Amino acid sequence: MIVQNKTEAKLELHAEVEHQIAKNVVELLDSQTRQLNEAQTQRLLDARTRAVHHLTSRQAQLAQHYQLNKNGTALLWMGERFGRYFNQHRLFTGLLLLSVVLLTLFAAQQFVYHHIPNSDAFLLASELPPEAYADKGFNAWLDTN
Amino acid sequence: MITFKIAVLALALCFGQAARAADESAAWAQLSEQQRQVLKPLAEEWDTLRPWQREKMLDIAHDYPKMDAKQKALVQKRLTNWSRMTPYERENARKRHQQFQSLSAEKKNELRQKWQEYQKLPESERARLRAESPDIYPDSDLD
């Protein structure tokens, strides 16, 4: 109990000291400010105005950027991220693109091989025999008959 | 992990191609039962065929199960003659067949009748017509 009281008393003392220091700093700044001439005051005011303007315009830009992303142009944000990622992993990106090209070729080949009935089998099963298509004489005879 | 999957797919692609190439150069004894059944008319001469000729014949065997009974019978009947045609004649036939496919039913029927009439001409007359006719597709890719 006694230890706790001593600790609280110490904290109060520290707070009082800090408060006093802050009060002294403010008084010092006030007294120095009162000694500034009109030109110095104006320069400080201009600098403050520029700083505030810079801060507000930066905040407006950030707000617009986040608003854009929020409104569905998330692709812009994603594009930046993916672009950065692929730039950092060029070898992997190259391999990925090569694999996509190879797989596309393979898929196209398989599609043609399995799904389009254009092989010689369908020619052989046609209404006319293959000789009819290959015979040059038949073609010439058709032109005259 | 993604890289590993891509590598596996690329290997599968390479092995697939290699397997197909091996299939095309297969001897008669190495063909599957289904392939031998379809290509039976070519059994005697199969091992003398060039790899690209075998490839075309194996394509026929591949498409054969998709056909109805009538088409299958026609394939069996015409396969031997087809294999004995020159590459040039086969290529001409493919191109003319494509043209035939785009004709109307009426035109197709007319051509069928004309073929019957042409067949009735004496062989000497047909030979003369063939000899006097220029090549239809002189720049064809042959196989």
pLDDT single digits (tens) A9-37: 888 888 889 889 998 988 888 888 888 88
What is the separation of C-alpha B72 from the centre of its chain, rounded to a whole number of angstroms? 13
What number of residues does chain B have? 143
Q: Please state, in angstroms and rounded to a whole number, the distance separating the CA atoms of residues A41 and B56.
A: 95
pLDDT single digits (tens) B14-28: 445 545 555 556 889
Whole-Å CA distances, A47 to A41, A43, A50, A52, B131: 10, 6, 5, 9, 102
A138·B115 Cβ contact <8 A: yes
Asked if residue B62 lies in contact with residue A88, where contact means CB atoms within 8 angstroms, the answer is: no
Mean pLDDT value across residues B131-138? 69
B135·A136 Cβ contact <8 A: yes
Number of A–B residue contacts, CB under 8 Å: 128
B133·A133 Cβ contact <8 A: no
Domain ranges of chain A: 94-145
What percent of chain A has pLDDT above 90?
12
Helix (H) or strand (E) holding A39: helix A38-70
pLDDT single digits (tens) B44-92: 888 888 888 888 899 999 999 999 999 999 999 999 889 888 888 888 8
